[in-house]
Chain A
Amino acid sequence: MPAAAATMVSSAGGLLAMLNESHPQLKYHALSNLISFVDQFWPEISTSVPIIESLYEDEEFGQQQRQLAALLVSKVFYYLGELNDSLSYALGAGPLFDVSEDSDYVHTLLSKAIDEYVSLRSKAAESSDEAAKVDSMLEAIVERMLDKCIMDEKYQQAMGIAIECRRLDKLEEAITRSDNVHGTLAYCINASHSFVYRREYRQDVLRLLVKVYGKLPSPDYLSICQCLMFLYEPEGVANILEKLLRSENKEDALYAFQIAFDLVENEHQAFLLNVRDCLSAPKSLPSESVQPGSSSPAHAQNENSTAPEDVQMTNGSSAIHEADPKEVMYAERLTKIKGILSGEASIQLTLQFLFSCNKSDLLILKTIKQSLEMRNSVCHSATIYANAIMHAGTTVDTFLRDNLDWLSRATNWAKFSATAGLGVIHRGHLQQGRSLMAPYLPQGGAGGGSPYSEGGALYALGLIHANHGEGIKQFLRDSLSGTNVEVIQHGACLGLGLAALGTADEDIYDDIKSVLYTDSAVAGEAAGIGMGLLMVGTATEKASEMLAYAHETQHEKIIRGLALGIALTVYGREEEADTLIEQMTRDQDPILRYGGMYALALAYRGTANNKAIRQLLHFAVSDVSDDVRRTAVLALGFVLYSEPEQTPRIVSLLSESYNPHVRYGAALAVGISCAGTGLSKAISLLEPLTSDVVDFVRQGALIAMAMVMVQINEACDSRVGTFRRQLEKIILDKHEDTMSKMGAILAAGILDAGGRNVTIRLLSKTKHDKVTAVVGLAVFSQFWYWYPLIYFVSLSFSTTAFMGLNYDLKVPKFELLSHAKPSLFEYPKPTTAPTTTSAVKLPTAVLSTSAKAKARAKKEAEQKANAEKSTGPESSSAAANTGKGKSSSEKDGEAMQVDNPPEKKSEPEPSFEMLTNPARVVPAQEKFIKFLEDSRYVPVKSAPSGFVLLGDLCPNEPEVLSLTDSPTSASSPAGGSAAGQQSSSSAMAVDDEPQPPQAFEYTS
Chain B
Amino acid sequence: MDLKEVSQQFERFKAAFVKNDFDTCANLLSQLKVLLTKFRSLPPLFENTPNAVNELLLAREIYEHAVVLSVKIEDQDAFERDFFQLKPYYTDVGSRLPPSKQEYLILGLNLLRLLVQNRIAEFHTELELLSATALENPCIKHAVELEQSFMEGAYNRVLTARQTAPHETYVYFMDLLAKTVRDEIAGCSEKAYDYLSINDARQMLLFSSDQELLEYVKEEHPEWEVKNGSVIFQKAKESTPCKEIPSLQLINQTLSYARELERIV
- B-contacting residues of A (Cβ < 8 Å)? 1, 3-5, 7-18, 20-23, 25-26, 29, 33, 37, 620-622, 653-654, 656-659, 662
One of B30, B48, B80, B85 near A4 (C-beta < 8 A) = B48
In the complex the two chains form, is B44's CB within 8 Å of A37's CB?
Answer: yes
In the complex the two chains form, is B44's CB within 8 Å of A26's CB?
Answer: no
11 contacts between A and B (CB under 8 A): A4-B46, A4-B96, A9-B88, A10-B88, A17-B82, A17-B84, A18-B81, A18-B85, A20-B77, A33-B44, A621-B263
In the complex the two chains form, is B33's CB within 8 Å of A14's CB?
Answer: no
Q: Mark B63-90, 1 if CB is under 8 A from A, else 0.
A: 0000000000000010011111111100
A769 CA to B159 CA, complexed, in Å: 89
In the complex the two chains form, is A654's CB within 8 Å of B265's CB?
Answer: yes
One of B52, B84, B95, B264 near A14 (C-beta < 8 A) = B84
In the complex the two chains form, is B44's CB within 8 Å of A621's CB?
Answer: no
Complex: chain A residue closest to B37, CB-CB: A29
Chain B residues contacting A658 (CB-CB under 8 Å) are 265
* CB-contacts of B27-48 with A (<8 A): 30, 33-34, 37, 43-46, 48
- A-contacting residues of B (Cβ < 8 Å)? 30, 33-34, 37, 43-46, 48, 52, 77, 80-88, 91-93, 95-96, 263-265
Q: Which of B44, B45, B77, B86 has the most CB of A within 10 A?
A: B44
In the complex the two chains form, is A657's CB within 8 Å of B81's CB?
Answer: no
**Smallest beta-carbon distance B229→chain A, Å:** 46
In the complex the two chains form, is A14's CB within 8 Å of B263's CB?
Answer: no
The list of the 6 closest CB pairs from A to B, nearest first, reads A17-B84, A9-B44, A657-B265, A29-B37, A17-B81, A7-B46
Question: A7-B46, A8-B92 in contact; A14/B85 too (CB < 8 A)?
Answer: yes
Chain A residues contacting B33 (CB-CB under 8 Å) are 21, 23, 26
Chain A residues contacting B265 (CB-CB under 8 Å) are 620-621, 653-654, 656-659, 662
Complex: chain A residue closest to B34, CB-CB: A25
In the complex the two chains form, is B30's CB within 8 Å of A7's CB?
Answer: no
A422 CA to B263 CA, complexed, in Å: 45
Complex: chain A residue closest to B38, CB-CB: A29
In the complex the two chains form, is B80's CB within 8 Å of A17's CB?
Answer: yes
Q: Which of A4, A23, A33, A622 has the most CB of B within 10 A?
A: A4
**Smallest beta-carbon distance A498→chain B, Å:** 36
A621 CA to B263 CA, complexed, in Å: 6
A662 CA to B263 CA, complexed, in Å: 12
In the complex the two chains form, is B37's CB within 8 Å of A10's CB?
Answer: no
Chain A residues contacting B77 (CB-CB under 8 Å) are 20
**Smallest beta-carbon distance A276→chain B, Å:** 49
A15 CA to B91 CA, complexed, in Å: 15
In the complex the two chains form, is B91's CB within 8 Å of A16's CB?
Answer: no
**Smallest beta-carbon distance A914→chain B, Å:** 51
Chain B residues contacting A23 (CB-CB under 8 Å) are 30, 33-34
In the complex the two chains form, is B34's CB within 8 Å of A7's CB?
Answer: no
Question: A3-B96, A622-B263 in contact; A14/B88 too (CB < 8 A)?
Answer: yes
In the complex the two chains form, is A10's CB within 8 Å of B46's CB?
Answer: no
In the complex the two chains form, is B85's CB within 8 Å of A7's CB?
Answer: no
In the complex the two chains form, is B44's CB within 8 Å of A12's CB?
Answer: yes
One of A5, A11, A26, A656 near B48 (C-beta < 8 A) = A5
Question: A4-B96, A7-B96 in contact; A14/B34 too (CB < 8 A)?
Answer: no
Chain B residues contacting A14 (CB-CB under 8 Å) are 43-44, 84-88
A16 CA to B80 CA, complexed, in Å: 11
A29 CA to B44 CA, complexed, in Å: 11
Question: A4-B96, A658-B265 in contact; A15/B44 too (CB < 8 A)?
Answer: yes
Chain A residues contacting B84 (CB-CB under 8 Å) are 13-14, 16-17
A26 CA to B43 CA, complexed, in Å: 13
Question: A23-B33, A26-B37, A620-B265 in contact; A13/B44 too (CB < 8 A)?
Answer: no
Complex: chain B residue closest to A32, CB-CB: B37
Other A-B contacts than A9-B88, A23-B33, 7 sampled, CB-CB below 8 A, are A9-B92, A11-B88, A14-B44, A16-B84, A17-B83, A23-B34, A656-B265
**Smallest beta-carbon distance A11→chain B, Å:** 7
In the complex the two chains form, is B48's CB within 8 Å of A1's CB?
Answer: yes
Chain A residues contacting B96 (CB-CB under 8 Å) are 3-4, 7
A37 CA to B43 CA, complexed, in Å: 12
Chain B residues contacting A26 (CB-CB under 8 Å) are 30, 33-34, 37
